[in-house]
Amino acid sequence: MKTRILIIFLGMLVLASTILLRAAWLQFLPNEKLKNLKNKQFQTVITLPSRRGSVVDQDGRDLAMSVAAFSLYADPKIIQNKKQIARKLSKELNLSFDFVFSRIKDSNRRFSWIQRRINRSKMEKIESWKVRGLSFVEEWTRVYPNENLMSQVLGFLGSEGQGLEGIELFFEETLKGNQKKISVKRDARGRPLVSEGLLFTENPEGHEIQLTIDSELQYQLEAELSKAVSEFQAVGAVGVILDAKTSAIRALASAPTYDANKAHNTSAEIRRNRNVTDFFEPGSVIKPFVVAKGLKDKILQPNTKYFCENGKWKIGQRTIRESDAEHYFGSLTVSEILAYSSNIGTAKMALQMGDQRVRDGLKEFGFGEKTGVDLPGEVKGILHALPWNAHLLATNSFGQGMAATSLQVATAYAALANGGVLRAPYIVQGIRNIETAETQEIELKNGKRVLTESEAEAMRMLLTAVTQKGATGFTARVSGFQVAGKTGTAQKAHTNGRGYKPGAYISSFAGMIPAHKPEYVIYIAIDEPQKNYYASVVAAPVFSRIASFAVRKSGLAPTLLASENYMPQRLPAEKEKSQDLVSSEILSPILNMENKILPDLKDLTLRQVIRKIQGHEVRLKRVGSGKVIETWPPAGQEIQADSTLILYMKED
């Protein structure tokens, strides 16, 4: 009997020990199979984006930012009264009943998203219902505080928080940070274990991107483009403002625009950044680059004359014409060809140079190649391969038959403005690590020299003639500042690539200010204006208003003296009538200058200037009266034959 009891006791002891050892084994030693079963039963892992880095302008103003939002999810297995809950949610969230019910009706499911990124007020209301099986997780939503400002440039996000266009797409990896995974834990009955209905986790944020954009210039540019589209009943418009020295993008706009916060309700046609994705035949704004190549290769000089055939010139079976009867000319110098925008004069220059040289010149200024800007979707335009027949060579010389983006045109003009260096435009100034507060400044890339400084200066001087009275760009003038630039009125090609659309033009103006030492390069193009299509009427005045705002915002001092820029000394009435206080007339058609280097004329009277200049042919023009306070070109620069010396004068 005792033996039997002992055997039973030992057996139970062994069994108990085995159970205890097994329990200890399961409790303290890892078992992947059991761990996976536990995780599957008691928690669900969901992936959420971390807080996306902000995008700010050059002064640190927010252009795109992330704010807290709340995403609603359900555990269908434990939700009671599913139809009633679905009706309440559909009403509160403005969703269809069928959609909501489909998300919660399957009791075998343990996790289902209802709606992502709900604002706080709706979240708090749903929380107040205290429905078991509904919970929230905190994540981030993208907000564009300026709504329409820079929308095509900034881009927008997809439903999963990924960048789809613009800066948001191009710098996706930099902005998004790390993805974060959240474990939604449940108790043994499947109920979510949350703190006050919310789940919070810490995770590294994305980096902040600082742009080169000046928000005030951007706003002004967008406002002026919108005004021009409305005033001239145009299809659209584009505009670029570059820092003349570095090619940093200070403003980049397309019209019409849209609210980036409602991007998914906007057509792709409006959302795209036309400054980099769309190319078109730019027209006469291309002419300066043909002239620049001719000057560089010493084929022509500013005073070289070409017979412009009195407005019509036949090349083979085709006829080249000027824009209208007012521009039918005989012989014109190169300077006058640019000033009056003669197609025939430019075509004759191009034929003298040959197709190889003209194409090389356009390539040197970046046409037919991408600029390399840090924005997505850039196209390279069209520059046909050689050989070119005579007609194609002629039309390419005045910007028809080739195609470019607005950013390409502005970048090429920046090379004329900065002394002859072609630089890639860029829009990101720096990237800031939020965790370490360290900022990585973007290094300015070395440009490619395409002209010498003197050649670039000569081109700027030629382009100032375009904005003089009687020239095509007169309406681009800015009070107190000398403007260099060029108009363009180009026929618009059919979208199918065959011929031109009847009555459709692109009116444009490309220029720089101040002309003697440019700070800004500005390009404006108005697409299919209906009321008038001449650039002098449509695009040049837009340039003038934007350029005027830019130089005054920057605090630049006026470089031209005019009655509105200074208060002249009052003279007796009888003398005031005869005294020319502000004049731009040519006082003497020919003065002689023995030395081609301009001496210092500061503080000299007009009579003293005439005595000091001897020898070479040069035209003299004065602005104001009294003594010289500044000259253009400045002292020490070479004066070319038949050029113009401008004296800026003021009474003591």
Q: What is the CATH number of the domain that holds 178?
A: 3.90.1310.10
Q: What pLDDT is stored for residue 631 in this prediction?
A: 77
Residue 33 lies in a domain: no
56 strand-pairing partners: 62, 210
Regarding whether 593 and 475 lie in a shared domain, the answer is no
pTM given for the model: 0.75
Residue 17 lies in a domain: no
Q: Which of 16-20, 93-97, 178-182, 546-550 has the lowest mean pLDDT?
A: 178-182
Q: Which of 186-195, 416-425, 491-500, 538-547 has the lowest mean pLDDT?
A: 186-195
CB burial of 75-109 (b: ≥16 within 10 Å; e: otherwise) equals bbbbbeebeebbebbbebbeeeeeebbebbeeeee
Answer with the one of 491, 520, 553 that is the final residue of a domain.
553
The strand ranges marked E within 43-145 are 43-49, 55-56, 62-74, 112-118, 134-143
Provide the 3-class DSSP secondary structure of residue 578. Answer: coil
The pLDDT tens digits for 501-546 are 888 999 999 999 999 899 999 999 999 999 898 999 999 999 999 9
Regarding whether 407 and 542 lie in a shared domain, the answer is yes
Q: Which of 27-31, 253-257, 507-511 has the lowest mean pLDDT?
A: 27-31
Q: What pLDDT is stored for residue 598 in this prediction?
A: 78
If pLDDT is split at 50, 70 and 90, which confidence band does 590 have?
very low
Residue 508 · residue 490 · CB < 8 Å: yes
Answer with the one of 553, 581, 606 that is the final residue of a domain.
553
Q: Which of 184-193, 230-239, 413-422, 515-524 has the lowest mean pLDDT?
A: 184-193
Regarding whether 626 and 505 lie in a shared domain, the answer is no
CA angle 629, 647, 609 (to 5 degrees): 90
Q: What percentage of residues in the chain have a pLDDT greater than 90?
A: 48
Residue 157 lies in a domain: no
Residue 462 has pLDDT above 70, yes or no: yes
| Rounded average pLDDT over 14-35 | 70
Residue 155 has pLDDT above 90, yes or no: yes
Q: What pLDDT is stored for residue 575 in this prediction?
A: 32
Residue 584 has pLDDT above 70, yes or no: no
| Rounded average pLDDT over 560-567 | 40
CA–CA separation, 493 and 506 (whole Å): 10
Residue 182 · residue 137 · CB < 8 Å: yes
Name the residue type at position 514. P
The total of structural domains in the chain comes to 3
Reduced DSSP (H G I as helix, E B as strand, rest coil) percent helix, strand, coil of the chain, to 5 = 35, 25, 40
Of 42 and 373, which is predicted with more confidence?
A: 373
If pLDDT is split at 50, 70 and 90, which confidence band does 113 have?
confident
Q: What pLDDT is stored for residue 177 in this prediction?
A: 72
Residues 6+ apart with CB under 8 A from 190: 75, 77, 78, 110
Residues 6+ apart with CB under 8 A from 378: 276, 277, 370, 371, 405, 407
Q: Is 473 buried (19+), middle (13-18) or exposed (0-12) by CB count in 10 A? A: buried
CB burial of 214-243 (b: ≥16 within 10 Å; e: otherwise) equals bbbbbbbbbebbbebbeebebebbbbbbbb
Regarding whether 343 and 200 lie in a shared domain, the answer is no
Residue 152 lies in a domain: no
Regarding whether 390 and 487 lie in a shared domain, the answer is yes
Regarding whether 351 and 421 lie in a shared domain, the answer is yes
For residue 334, what is the domain's CATH number? 3.40.710.10
The pLDDT tens digits for 78-106 are 888 888 989 989 988 989 999 989 888 88
CA 193 to chain CA centroid, Å, is 49
Boundaries of domain holding 99 = 45-143+169-206
Q: Which residues participate in catalysis according to the annotation?
A: 284
Residue 85 · residue 79 · CB < 8 Å: yes
Regarding whether 592 and 622 lie in a shared domain, the answer is yes
Q: What pLDDT is stored for residue 69 in this prediction?
A: 81
CA–CA separation, 86 and 439 (whole Å): 48
CA–CA separation, 144 and 133 (whole Å): 33
Q: What pLDDT is stored for residue 568 in this prediction?
A: 34
Regarding whether 103 and 74 lie in a shared domain, the answer is yes
Of 77 and 283, which is predicted with more confidence?
A: 283
Residue 29 lies in a domain: no
Q: What percentage of residues in the chain have a pLDDT greater than 70?
A: 82
User: Rounded to whole angstroms, what are the CA distances from 437 to 202, 205, 209, 300, 434?
Assistant: 18, 12, 12, 55, 5
Regarding whether 495 and 356 lie in a shared domain, the answer is yes
The pLDDT tens digits for 330-372 are 889 999 999 999 999 999 999 999 999 999 999 999 999 999 9
Regarding whether 191 and 241 lie in a shared domain, the answer is no
CA–CA separation, 522 and 485 (whole Å): 9
If pLDDT is split at 50, 70 and 90, which confidence band does 640 have?
low
Q: What pLDDT is stored for residue 46 in this prediction?
A: 56
